[in-house]
């Protein structure tokens, strides 16, 4: 397959290079990724500034391009400028740390995959569960095996797979499970600090809240040494609530 790879940790991050090296054993790989870290930028795109694209030579068996923009920018310019055609698959990652629950709203990694989904390309976001000790080798090996058994062409447009891999040795993985995006979220707080001039500044901190009762919640399977595979969509409409609103207000709509 012809695979376009991006991320949000930066073009020379260990995760993306590990993934590209493994994929290039069986596939044609092109890396187009941000020149600097773009974590938590969401689905931002660059409209009012120029984008710079440069090829990087670090003695790899695949082409690498750095872009002065976001993960979504990288996917767009990767398709239209670098490849000049749609690849067979878009993979965003391997992210340092998980992307679970409400993380997907903020994640540049997930947004890179969803940009591919918007373009009509089968797309996967992949993350290594631990931020402190990510084992990229495990995630890369899993993705290579996963592509052998999963029909990527079954992924509909506007949908991507959000995959989170436990940070454990590969041989300890029990397999993968289909999961739902959980209600896992952060309870934010701000730590007040002093700059050298005596002024106040604030550092955002947070505590993880994991209280989703659904047994298919994405974060739960990771603690059991399974990989979490969650299909996600670019569409945010709350269909259940929309039906309730229609039942209550449809006759009051302006005609």
* Binding site residue list for a divalent metal cation: 8-9, 39, 95
Burial of 3 (0-12, 13-18, 19+ CB in 10 A): buried
Cβ neighbours for 83, distance < 8 A, ≥ 6 positions apart: 2, 4, 30
Query: Which pair of tokens denotes residue 13?
Result: 């991050």
Sequence ranges of the binding site: 8-9, 39, 95
Using CA atoms in the order 101, 141, 91, 212, what is the torsion angle rounded to 10 degrees?
A: -10
Q: How many Cα atoms within 13 Å fall on the side-chain side of residue 44?
A: 16
Ranges of beta strands (E only) in the chain are 2-6, 28-34, 53-56, 63-67, 89-96, 123-128, 159-165, 176-178, 185-194, 200-209, 227-233
Dist CA 221 CA 125 (whole Å): 17
């Amino acid at each position: 397959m012809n695979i376009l790879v991006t991320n949000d940790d930066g073009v020379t991050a260990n995760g993306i290079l590990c993934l590209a090296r493994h994929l290039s054993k069986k596939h044609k790989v092109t890396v187009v990724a941000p020149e600097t870290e773009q974590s938590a930028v969401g689905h931002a795109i660059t409209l009012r500034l120029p984008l710079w694209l440069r090829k990087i030579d670090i003695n790899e068996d695949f082409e690498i391009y750095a872009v002065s923009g976001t993960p979504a920018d990288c996917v767009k310019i990767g398709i239209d400028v670098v490849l000049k055609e749609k690849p067979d698959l878009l993979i965003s990652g391997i992210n340092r740390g998980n992307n679970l629950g409400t993380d997907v709203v903020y994640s540049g990694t997930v947004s890179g995959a969803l940009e591919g989904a918007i373009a009509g390309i089968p797309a996967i976001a992949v993350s290594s569960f631990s931020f402190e000790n990510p084992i990229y080798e495990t995630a890369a090996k899993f993705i290579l095996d996963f592509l052998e058994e999963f029909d990527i062409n079954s992924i509909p447009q506007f949908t991507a797979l959000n995959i989170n891999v436990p940070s454990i040795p590969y041989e300890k993985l029990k397999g993968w499970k289909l999961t739902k995006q959980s209600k896992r979220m952060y309870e934010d707080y701000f730590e007040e600090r002093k700059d050298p001039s005596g002024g106040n500044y604030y550092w955002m901190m947070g505590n993880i809240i994991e209280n989703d009762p659904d047994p298919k919640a994405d974060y739960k399977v990771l603690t059991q040494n399974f990989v979490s595979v969650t299909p996600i969509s670019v569409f945010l409409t709350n269909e259940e609530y929309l039906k309730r609103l229609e039942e209550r207000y449809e006759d009051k709509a302006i005609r």
